[in-house]
Amino acid sequence: MIATQGLTMRFPRVTALDDLTVAVEPGVVGLVGANGAGKSTLIRILLGLQPPSAGHATVLGLDIAREGVQIREQVGFMPEFDCLPPDVSATEFVVHMARMCGLPPTAARERAADTLRHVGLYEERYRPIGGYSTGMKQRVKLAQALVHDPKLVFLDEPTNGLDPAGRDEMLELIRRIGAEFGISVLVTSHLLGELERICDHVVIIDGGKLLRSQAVEAYTAASGMLTVEVEEGRDLLGQRLYDQGVSVHPEGRFLVIDIAGESTYDLIRDGVADLGLRLVRLEQRRHHIEEVFATSHTAQPPQPGQAQPAAVGAYGQPPPPAMPGQPTAPAQPDASGQPQPPQDSSATGPQGAPR
């Protein structure tokens, strides 16, 4: 769908893209990077709107240097910035954009009505855009990107400015564009977690350089850790497993346990049974895409199946004296001398990275 070789974009004070070589197949593809990572620059170059300083790229097999017009005929574009005229209705605007793409008047009106319905704008489509909410404006931008029935759409930060419910609706729309209409999607975001839900493949760039490009399953492969939840007695179980040499730490309501072979499962089962606890959950943890950023600047990225080093939790401290009759991990005094509850790593992500 898209292939770049050594794509570089130098502005006077910054290199927005730095020798970027990447290829992605059709499907819903996420392009992720922090603000300023070079996402919008890459989209402008792929649309043939801006020549790169160096390198080559093709989109749908078309050369960005020579075939920009053909690319833009086949690719829809939802820009990040606010670009809508305030005093016309969504219907008028989307019909106009369809006409600009070469559709005859009747077909343009029909396509505009269909597309606006798909994106969830109904009666409001006859009102001036200036009175729309951010969510409605994002839908209009999406509709104009789809109205000429493109093979591929570039969606630049489509969830920007939306509240959580609006974000979920937009993500569902994007998922449907790929799954139901068969249109390939390149969607940018600086929020990794949201792309994990809808993308087949995620490309991560950082400072204009390629950090990773792989299928979502490769990012979220099962880790070598288990999440265990019991109704009550989390620390009883945690302490017992720790005393048995299991690498375990508390995280929120859960215990996170490194799998050291089949015996780990047996120890958990026996612990739950012997202590008379009620087991709510025992499942293998999956990696989150966020871990790529947590690990990329420090160490090798996590490989599928490779256990993460356990965060230090209450059971990872030097073994506390097991006090007979003391059911939970010992309270730690703080600076004021007040006892504190057992340390909990739930405020940090894997490897202690802030969530």
Ligand X SMILES: Nc1ncnc2c1ncn2[C@@H]1O[C@H](COP(=O)(O)OP(=O)(O)OP(=O)(O)O)[C@@H](O)[C@H]1O
User: Binding to ligand X by residue 141, rule CB under 6 A?
Assistant: no
Are the C-beta atoms of residues 183 and 152 closer than 8 Å to each other?
yes
The yes or no reply on residue 14 touching ligand X (CB under 6 A) is yes
Q: In angstroms, rounded to a whole number, what is the distance separating the alpha carbons of residues 61 and 133?
A: 38
37 lies in the binding site for ligand X (CB under 6 A) = yes
Q: Where in 97-136 is the site for ligand X (CB under 6 A)? A: none
Name, in order, each residue with C-beta under 8 angstroms of 64's C-beta and a sequence gap of 6 or more. 45, 46, 47, 48, 52, 56, 57, 58, 71
Query: Judged by CB under 6 A, which stretch of 38-46, 113-121, 293-301, 337-345 contacts ligand X?
Result: 38-46
Region 190-249 residues binding ligand X, contact defined as CB under 6 A: 190
**Least separation in angstroms between CB 205 and ligand X:** 7
Q: Which stretch binds ligand X (CB under 6 A): 29-37, 94-102, 191-199, 259-267?
A: 29-37
Q: From the CB of 191, what's the least distance to ligand X, in Å?
A: 11
Least distance CB 31 / ligand X (angstroms): 9
Residue 16 found at the interface with ligand X (CB under 6 A):
yes
SS3 letters across the chain: CEEEEEEEEECCCCEEEEEEEEEECCCEEEEECCCCCCHHHHHHHHCCCCCCCEEEEEECCEECCCCHHHHHHHEEEECCCCCCCCCCEHHHHHHHHHHHCCCCHHHHHHHHHHHHHHCCCCHHHHCEHHHCCHHHHHHHHHHHHHCCCCCEEEECCCCCCCCHHHHHHHHHHHHHHHHCCCCEEEEEECCHHHHHHHCCEEEEEECCEEEEEEEHHHHCCEEEEEEEEECCCHHHHHHHHHHCCCCEEEECCEEEEECCCHHHHHHHHHHHHHCCCCEEEEEEEECCCCHHHHHHCCCCCCCCCCCCCCCCCHHHCCCCCCCCCCCCCCCEECCCCCEECCCCHHHECHHHCEC
Instruction: Determine the interface stretch with ligand X among 34-42, 120-128, 248-256, 276-284 (rule: CB under 6 A).
Output: 34-42
Binding mask 52-91 for ligand X (x = CB under 6 A): ----------------------------x-----------
Only one of the segments 36-44, 120-128, 171-179, 289-297 lies at the binding site for ligand X (rule: CB under 6 A); that segment is: 36-44
In sequence order, the β-bridge partners of residue 9 are 17
Name the amino acid, one letter, at 182.
G
* Residue of 39, 72, 111, 148 interacting with ligand X (CB under 6 A): 39
Question: Does the protein bind ligand X through residue 345 (CB under 6 A)?
Answer: no
Enumerate the β-bridge partners of residue 263.
none
308 binds ligand X (CB under 6 A): no
Q: Please tell me whether residue 35 binds ligand X under the rule CB under 6 A.
A: yes
Nearest approach, Cβ of residue 70 and ligand X (Å): 24
Check if the beta carbon of residue 352 is closer than 8 Å to that of residue 311: yes
- The least CB distance from residue 192 to ligand X, in Å, is 13
Residues 142-161 that bind ligand X (CB under 6 A): 157
Q: Identify the CA nearest to 333 among candidates 344, 342, 323, 324.
A: 342
Tell me: does residue 4 bind ligand X (CB under 6 A).
no
Q: Which is nearer to ligand X, 16 or 46 (CB)?
A: 16
Single-letter code of the amino acid located at 81? F
Write down the least CB distance from residue 168 to ligand X, Å. Answer: 21
41 near ligand X, rule: CB under 6 A: yes
In the complex with ligand X, which residue's Cβ is closer, 6 or 79?
A: 79
Residue among 18, 22, 32, 40 that touches ligand X (CB under 6 A): 40
Interface residue with ligand X among 23, 25, 36, 274 (CB under 6 A) is 36
Question: Of 11-19, 128-136, 179-187, 321-329, which segment contacts ligand X by CB under 6 A?
Answer: 11-19
Q: Among residues 53 and 214, whose Cβ is nearest to ligand X? A: 53
Residues at the interface with ligand X (CB under 6 A): 11, 14, 16, 33, 35-41, 80, 157, 190
